[in-house]
Structure 1
Amino acid sequence: MNSDTYLSRIGIDPDSLGEPSLSSLRRLQHAHVTTIPFETLAVTGHPFDETDDGEGVRLELPHLFEKVVERERGGFCFELNGLFNWLLSDLGFDADRVAARVLDDDGVGRPPANHHSNVVELDRRYVVDVGMGVPSMRRPTPLDGEVRTDEAGVSWRVVESDRPDETHLTQYRYEPDGEWQDRYLFSDTPRMLTYFEATCDYLQSAPESSFTGDPVVIRPTEDGHRKLAPESLTRYVGSESSEREIGAAEWDDLLEREFGIDYRVEADESPVA
């Protein structure tokens, strides 16, 4: 871990951060989710290059640092939250990896541990997640049910789960008086990064996985998100969205200009010890 390089990647002057605190944690989380995209190109490859099957997702921390920090790529939850936990620990935060279940439309959540999140101990315990799609969690959310609303107008809370297999449930809503929507279940039990390897391998290889279809790239903006798919660019403001069709000729330019990813930067193929 080179925390100074990592902090520079997300636009934070290392000398300005100070000691571990709720304000510094909030700053780190916000900077991370608004700088580093959620993207699945390592799984799918380039959508308009039939010879590119993707480099694959590897959960070795040195590889994740090389990919996300040095090559300025993004990733999905196991990569982004996996690497962010390493940064938090290096900066002196008491941060635990926790296994979660992003819920299906039927409210089940398949397979188990299909999401990596983080819980940080400060004055109380907070969920700190930088690896969501839409909507993103932009600030620490306490486990005691207190609501946190971000600058994009999305509110989050963590409540007790009514299921016997998980202890907590994260929920969000777009309007102050809107209905709460379930996002993911989790248990507040520390895990090693290796705990997620089997599910990560499944999600990047199984035909039925939502990650093995078309690639997706998502990056939060000040008032919402932008999302790049092979044939469209969608801008979200709160729960509202506007979509425009795009062609193959402009896809790479949009990827670099709107999401900060130059896909031509090649991966380091050296083995990880």
Structure 2
Amino acid sequence: MESSIKGGIVLSTFIKDVAGRIHYPLGHTLTFADLPALLEAFAYHLPFDNAAVLKKESVPFDQNRLRQTFIERQAGGVCYDLNHLLYEVLRIKGFDVSLLKATVFDQENDVWSATGPTHVAVLLSHQEQTYLVDTGFGVNLALRPIPLTGETITSPSGNYRIAPNGAGYQLEMLRTGQDDEFVIGYHFYTQQTIEPAALSDMEQIIQEHQASPFNKRSLLAIRKADGHRILTRQALTTWTDGKKTIQPVTSDDQYAAWKHEFF
């Protein structure tokens, strides 16, 4: 692969391009202490976007797919796109990481998702401790590594913790301006890791299953430093410092303009 040397470190073209996309320098040695800033860079520059799901696009999960999606098309993606990219960057930069399957809790209906373990996150090991990192759970992003010890992590987006659930764990969230108490995000087993190539099976379920929340209508979502934005064909919803505003989409041109401006 083509590479260049910056500050004595050999940088792949892929890593250089990702650094440009997320506006975060990757030419230095990345440490565990750098991860909050890296996760914020991912969250603020890469939108959750289900356009490829609606089009039923299917490309092998490899570095070429990541380049096509995030660099060439300047697009976003769903969990298996965004966390695949995060996993690849962390792996290349020397971290001990695995992709992890999880089952989302449907808060509206108070049930576990009928699509099964079709969420993807990243499991990271550092100094004999295990952490969950996730940049693909819509706007519900901790922006920090979350230890599996139960410690609560606080960030601009809220408070997050991992609690035991049977033989596995569950992510619990107290999101700024949204929750009065901790709510369940998803459940996972640390043994249920998955290789990137196997994500195609998960992608097929998300594209085709009748219970999939992402194969019916367009959805764009992105975090910002003081909140987040969500765009559908019906409305632009903005949370700023815990306050919610809703602006109706009145035309296709307005939708396109807001998509270009905010996502």
Same fold, TM exceeding 0.5? yes
After superposition, the Cα gap between the structure-2 partners of 1:208 and 1:110, relative to the gap in structure 1 and judged at 3 Å, is closer
Q: Which residue is equivalent to 2:207?
A: 204
Matches for 1:10-159 after TM superposition, within 5 Å = 10-15=22-27, 18-44=28-54, 54=55, 56-61=57-62, 62-104=64-106, 105-123=109-127, 124-152=129-157, 154-159=158-163
Following the alignment from structure 1 to structure 2, what is the Cα–Cα distance between the partners of residues 90 and 120? 13
Tell me how far 1:257 sits from its aligned partner: 0.8
Tell me how far 1:146 sits from its aligned partner: 0.8
Please say if residues 77 and 115 of structure 1, whose CA atoms lie closer than 8 Å, have aligned partners that are also in contact: yes
Following the alignment from structure 1 to structure 2, what is the Cα–Cα distance between the partners of residues 214 and 182? 24
Q: Which residue is equivalent to 2:6?
A: none
Q: Which residue is equivalent to 1:6?
A: 18
Number of equivalent positions: 244
**Which letter does structure 1 place at the counterpart of 2:144?**
R
Greater displacement, 194-203 / 228-237? 194-203
**Which letter does structure 2 place at the counterpart of 1:252?**
A
Q: Structure 2, unaligned stretches of length 5 or more? A: 1-11
Normalized per residue, the structure richer in strand is 2
Partner-residue secondary structure (3-state), 1:219: strand
Give the RMSD, CA atoms, in angstroms.
2.0
**Which letter does structure 2 place at the counterpart of 1:83?**
L
Q: Structure 1, unaligned stretches of length 5 or more? A: 45-53, 260-273
Please say if residues 58 and 200 of structure 2, whose CA atoms lie closer than 8 Å, have aligned partners that are also in contact: no
Partner-residue secondary structure (3-state), 2:208: coil
**Which letter does structure 1 place at the counterpart of 2:214?**
F
Match of 1:188 among 180, 187, 190: 190
Please say if residues 81 and 129 of structure 1, whose CA atoms lie closer than 8 Å, have aligned partners that are also in contact: yes
Please say if residues 171 and 183 of structure 1, whose CA atoms lie closer than 8 Å, have aligned partners that are also in contact: yes
Q: Which residue is equivalent to 1:226?
A: 229
CA-to-partner distance for each residue in 1:161-207, whole Å, 9 max, x for gaps? 1x34xx11100013699411000001112321233322220211234
Greater displacement, 209-218 / 55-64? 55-64
Following the alignment from structure 2 to structure 1, what is the Cα–Cα distance between the partners of residues 142 and 86? 14
After superposition, the Cα gap between the structure-2 partners of 1:191 and 1:208, relative to the gap in structure 1 and judged at 3 Å, is closer
Percent of matched pairs sharing the same residue: 23
Please say if residues 98 and 191 of structure 1, whose CA atoms lie closer than 8 Å, have aligned partners that are also in contact: yes
